[in-house]
Amino acid sequence: MNIKKQRLLTAGPTPLYPKALQAMMGADLHHRTQDFREIVLSCIAGLKSALGTTSDALILTASGTGAMEASVTNCFSPGDRVIVCSAGKFGERWLEMTKAYGLDVVALTAPYGSHVAVEELEKALAANPGVRGVFVQASESSTGAAHDVKAMGLAIKATNPDALFVIDAITGIGTMPLDIDAWGLDLVVGGSQKAFMIPPGLAFLFVSPKAWARMETAKLPRYYFDLRREQKNAVKGESSWTPATSLILGLAEVLKYIETFGPGKQGMDKLVENAQHLAAATRLAATTLGLELFAPSLPSAAVTAILAPKGMSSGVIVKEYRQKFGSIINDGQGEMKGKIFRVAHLGYFDVVDLFGIIAQLELILDANGFPVKLGTGVAAVQKYYAEKVVGSKQTVTA
Ligand SMILES: *Cc1c(COP(=O)(O)O)cnc(C)c1O
């Protein structure tokens, strides 16, 4: 056998939606034209409708971190006390960023693989009544853990309704329910290369009325990401600077694709359900193979982190996926490198991808002397699919 197809199976960039890729080739157009303005306006409307929110949606030309930074610089002033909930590499990004901008940071940290409990946040809110904002990851992609954003939002509303709730939902959107309006999510950040199935380069930001009001008094300097200027342009289908036109053409196709699952928020709910099924089937396959999950207590449906078997580096697993099969999967980041490997579910992943991912894993484990009965992990996914997705009435034996 000589053919090995390259397959991008990481949690970002994620597999690309083919029709979006084709649409991106139509980028020989100018962004200050009526045709393009209409596409931008349709994307903004599509984002709001998919998320089912009355918050304003902004499309920024940047990677996701750009919109994270825009949330900080537009809504806070030097010395503002804020709470940062951090349980992984992306939580640490919030910590570094808020400190870099001179905010007075109360850090609530949880060990990698775990999450910051709502009770911890409640205690910190009670101890710091003047807090101006709370930062968290909906899904911490570095560990595969989620946060209970709903309970956190309701706790903030109940104890300190002036604080802004800022959510890095870059791998949360499309993998978990997010009720922006009902849960009080003031700034919600997304990114194109995650569940949106297009390449990196666009960041999304959902901005609540409360966040807009805060911008009137917030003092941190800002220039490229001046959200009030951006919004003035966005209502006309424009942006302050030259946008990533090709990505916006791709985004329009993806939003249409999600609409085929159901109108408005129902389409997004289906995308979430898809990721949740794949994540649940992956956890089942991993434990069936005798492997241990890294974030078992509140797992994210964006990505499943699995511990490498004892005596084996996850780097070997990641390398063999690529060398033997052409598949690109993620190793751990930072201290987790060599210990965990990560299987992604967000965006354009289906159950056939998962059959392949688990079959490869079995072969890799077997080749490295880890005892597996070939086919048992794949059978677990098949059984999950037949029973939970198709809802088969007949007994499925695995
Ligand atoms: C991918 C990701 C980001 C943003 O990374 P960029 O490289 O700036 O796009 C931030 N937070 C989480 C949780 C992510 O998964």
Compute, in angstroms, the gap from residue 385 CA to the centroid of ligand 1: 30
Is the minimum distance from the CB of 191 to ligand 1 under 6 angstroms? Answer: yes
Angle between helices 89-100 and 64-75 (to 10 degrees): 40
| Partners of residue 7 on adjacent β-strands | 327
Phi, psi of 141 (to 5 degrees): -65, -20
What's the pTM? 0.97
Is the minimum distance from the CB of 168 to ligand 1 under 6 angstroms? Answer: yes
Please give the pLDDT value at position 394: 54
Q: State which amino acid sits at residue 5.
A: K
Between β-strands 303-307 and 202-207, what pairing exists: parallel, antiparallel or unpaired? unpaired
Is the minimum distance from the CB of 137 to ligand 1 under 6 angstroms? Answer: yes
Q: Whose CA is nearest to atom 3 of ligand 1?
A: 64
* Contact in structure between 152 and 158 (CB atoms under 8 Å): no
Q: How far apart are CA 193 and CA 11, in angstroms?
A: 9
Token pair, residue 298, equals 């509140």
Query: Looking at ligand 1, which atom is closest to the CA of residue 66?
Result: 8
Please give the pLDDT value at position 2: 84
Give 7-18 as a DSSP string: EE-SSSS-PPPH
Is the minimum distance from the CB of 239 to ligand 1 under 6 angstroms? Answer: no
Query: Looking at ligand 1, which atom is closest to the CA of residue 138?
Result: 13
Interacting residues of 144 by C-beta distance below 8 A, sequence separation 6+: 113, 293, 294, 295, 299, 300, 302, 303, 304, 305, 340, 342
Is the minimum distance from the CB of 330 to ligand 1 under 6 angstroms? Answer: no
Token pair, residue 258, equals 């999600």
| Partners of residue 202 on adjacent β-strands | 61
Compute, in angstroms, the gap from residue 273 CA to the centroid of ligand 1: 22
Token pair, residue 47, equals 């984002």
Compute, in angstroms, the gap from residue 392 CA to the centroid of ligand 1: 38
Is the minimum distance from the CB of 196 to ligand 1 under 6 angstroms? Answer: no
Is the minimum distance from the CB of 141 to ligand 1 under 6 angstroms? Answer: yes
Q: How far apart are CA 66 and CA 189, in angstroms?
A: 9
Compute, in angstroms, the gap from residue 90 CA to the centroid of ligand 1: 7
Q: How far apart are CA 203 and CA 244, in angstroms?
A: 11
Instruction: Give the domains, in start order, of the chain with CATH numbers.
Output: 7-13+264-389 (3.90.1150.10), 18-260 (3.40.640.10)
Compute, in angstroms, the gap from residue 352 CA to the centroid of ligand 1: 26
Q: Whose CA is nearest to atom 14 of ligand 1?
A: 170
Is the minimum distance from the CB of 90 to ligand 1 under 6 angstroms? Answer: yes
Query: 263, exposed or middle or buried, with CB in 10 Å at 0-12, 13-18, 19+?
Result: exposed
Compute, in angstroms, the gap from residue 29 CA to the centroid of ligand 1: 29
Compute, in angstroms, the gap from residue 65 CA to the centroid of ligand 1: 6
Compute, in angstroms, the gap from residue 55 CA to the centroid of ligand 1: 22
| Partners of residue 344 on adjacent β-strands | 303
Give 356-376 as a DSSP string: HHHHHHHHHHHHTT----TTH
Compute, in angstroms, the gap from residue 81 CA to the centroid of ligand 1: 24
Q: Which residue among 171, 303, 345 has the greatest number of ligand 1 atoms within 8 angstroms of its CB, and so is best to mutate?
A: 171
Token pair, residue 221, equals 């300097």
Q: How far apart are CA 180 and CA 157, in angstroms?
A: 13
Please give the pLDDT value at position 72: 98
Q: pLDDT tens per residue, the chain (398 residues)?
A: 789 999 999 999 999 999 999 999 999 999 999 999 999 999 999 999 999 999 999 999 999 999 999 999 999 999 999 999 999 999 999 999 999 999 999 999 999 999 999 999 999 999 999 999 999 999 999 999 999 999 999 999 999 999 999 999 999 999 999 999 999 999 999 999 999 999 999 999 999 999 999 999 999 999 999 999 999 999 999 999 999 999 999 999 999 999 999 999 999 999 999 999 999 999 999 999 999 999 999 999 999 999 999 999 999 999 999 999 999 999 999 999 999 999 999 999 999 999 999 999 999 999 999 999 999 999 999 999 999 999 865 554 44
Give 215-283 as a DSSP string: HTT--S--STT-HHHHHHHHTTT--SS---HHHHHHHHHHHHHHHTTSSTHHHHHHHHHHHHHHHHHHH
